[in-house]
Structure 1
């Protein structure tokens, strides 16, 4: 990458930190298998004046989802599960579901929620909200958090959580629309049941250990706690404030292995660990001579997208114009509609605290940004970084 672009990337990162918009961030760009850019700015711990560095551990939140999707596809290519399977085959809580229509009436599903619906977020599950589905989902998360606050990782397991989600009315008929929510958490529970292993153990055996992702897990043990980045609430014109609450059932300090291993939000990782996973997807399922997915499976992960009816639901997401969605990731299908520069066929996802990953097959490139900013997702800094990278 040209030196002037590297300097611009550093400048926008430093400016974001100086404005209090971002507490600290890392950026890593790998192209043609070679590291092109590594930059850092700001702090992992503002109060202690600890600069953010390459070995710091970040809570991924929704950037956990692509890893969960890859784990499901491992089972698919081995013939253990079928994406057309009903979820109730693995989780009895999904039997005899009901759909709560917008007019308040209930009806039976025209077909059961399928694994495919989970992978595409077309299940009718959601995160919180003011409707009945959202309120009951919020209440379940609060119950998980109460268990966390009692100590030792909580009491509601991954499978119990998913089975209880199955008892909550769906927002719409399965497969007929799109809504962001708890589908990936249910995928994690399905993997646990289908594999006969705890979800976290399956990820460790099938993905983390083979790829050498030694700092990626659902918790951060005592000997690594000093490397866990602090979380901040950053509001324009105000100094960042430490955020200490638990969100979506994830323990903020990650000090204990959780009973509920959240496939949608629960993992923590370093920038180098996650880069290995991203490179594996770019390389057609293989990294450093280790095959995690077969080439056709890896290609499917980054190319499967929504139907026209489902896309209408996704199109309500401001800022993701031009993208579609599939296998728990965004996929750029029309760069002419996007609000940033981009590359057709690029795919990835981000997290609630601002971690961001993109795989760009056209450019043989991956890039990652890591930060811990409350309510971030894809935000101003992410978009500025995208524009600079794609301007080359």
Structure 2
């Protein structure tokens, strides 16, 4: 493992020196023991503020697994059933309609909570130009505009507006990456009778000791928040200061719209605890968050053939199946990126990623704040897979 850590350091350091990334934090844990932490480059390139272990990162879509766990907690509590209609909690979803090319039709059945967990709801982020996707894009733009106002859109207001947008397909008929997790956050808020953020704090963050995770960064911690970067037209790294998906980039105000799909910030230390809780099937040390059966259900939910075909075609997901707001590697030989059978994972828009390996009892996290920073993650994973497969061959021989 010492050689693997040195290879990782070379990969990460090289990417920083070549200007491919501003800074990277990497943490690897095996059999419950930390093997290595690496921090290379800067959290703030302009002011030469180095990446540290307590650097705070915007998670973006790495928020989704947290939202999935919150939903499973409430299901265990009996606050809702996963097959319960979303409209039982959010009235705007009681009479969902579907866009059929040039007109709307009533949905064949209600959107269920499990549709939100599995992205089979028909809701979308708006990455194409169909009527539903244009409407979703407009709604997210309004959330972003509202961040400039004194009264921004709330989690429940967002869900109310989203419920009026026609679905891209009949509930359960296909798979589409979209705002399902954000709507799930609103369902959790209604079912828990408290804000989504309060529920996460009470049932996940505080019990696990995740002291630096939340929907904003308090003033006393703000100097630990990493800057975000994108590439300009000349391929140079420049600061990103926008508010993508309704998330305030500065994270300097308490969020009113608490996005279940993209809104959290965290440190590599905090998220490693969350990941290890999942790896240990719902518990961390003496703290139990979920029963093992609930974690198993999250990972083994699966899609039907039609849904899976849609998932396979989304950014090269072949070889993976979809669990509850995470992907699970079923066939490494078919996958575009390197991996080990059974790994489950998710990543975020600015390059944060986590990977759990149940068979090998390992957790790998890579944190960065750069759009299209996936090359570093791919290099790190290639090194891990190569060495783990080599160890297996050596043991067999």
TM over 0.5: yes
Give unpaired runs (5+ residues) of structure 2. 388-397
What does residue 134 of structure 1 align with?
133
Distance 2:286 2:299 in 1: 21
| Alignment correspondent of 2:391 | none
TM-score by length of 1: 0.96
Structure 2 distance, partners of 1:365, 1:304, is 22
CA distance in 1, matches of 2:372, 2:11: 20
Residue 16 of structure 1 aligns with which residue?
Answer: 15
> Is 1:202 the counterpart of 2:173 in the alignment?
no
1:315-348: CA deviation from partner (whole Å, max 9, x where unpaired):
1123322011121001111112112332222111
1:1-392 superposed matches below 5 A: 1=1, 3-101=2-100, 103-128=101-126, 129-151=128-150, 154-234=151-231, 238-376=235-373, 379-392=374-387
CA 1:341/1:366 → structure 2, altered by over 3 Å: closer, same or farther? same
Alpha-carbon deviations, 1:99-154, whole Å to 9, x = none? Answer: 112x3232221111111110000100010231111111111112111221125xx5
C-alpha distance in 1, partners of 2:250/2:326? Answer: 27
CA distance in structure 2 between the partners assigned to 1:173 and 1:193 by the alignment: 25
TM-score by length of 2: 0.95
Quote how far apart the aligned CAs of 1:375 are.
4.5
Instruction: Give the Cα–Cα distance (whole angstroms) in 2 for the partners of residues 332 and 173 of structure 1.
Output: 27
Q: How far is the alpha carbon of 1:5 from its aligned partner? A: 1.6
Higher mean C-alpha displacement, 141-150 vs 163-172:
141-150
Distance 2:279 2:11 in 1: 27
| Runs of 4+, deviation exceeding 6 Å | none
| Residue aligned with 1:149, SS | coil
Q: CA deviation at 1:93?
A: 0.7
The 1:173/1:113 distance shift into structure 2, 3 A limit, reads same
Matched residue pairs, number?
Answer: 386
CA contact (8 A) 1:21 1:236 kept: no
Cα deviation for residue 78 of structure 1 reads: 1.6
CA distance in 1, matches of 2:315, 2:222: 36
Distance between the aligned counterparts of 2:268 and 2:185, measured in 1?
23
**Alignment partners' CA distance in 1, 2:255 and 2:273:** 25
Instruction: Determine helix, strand or coil for the equivalent of 2:203.
Output: helix
CA distance in structure 1 between the aligned counterparts of 2:304 and 2:233, rounded to whole angstroms: 39
Offset at residue 374 of structure 1 (A): 2.1
With 381-390 and 203-212 compared, the bigger mean Cα shift is at 381-390
Change (3 A) 1:224 1:35: same
**How large is the Cα RMSD of the aligned pairs?**
1.3
Cα distance in 2, alignment partners of residues 262 and 285 from structure 1: 23
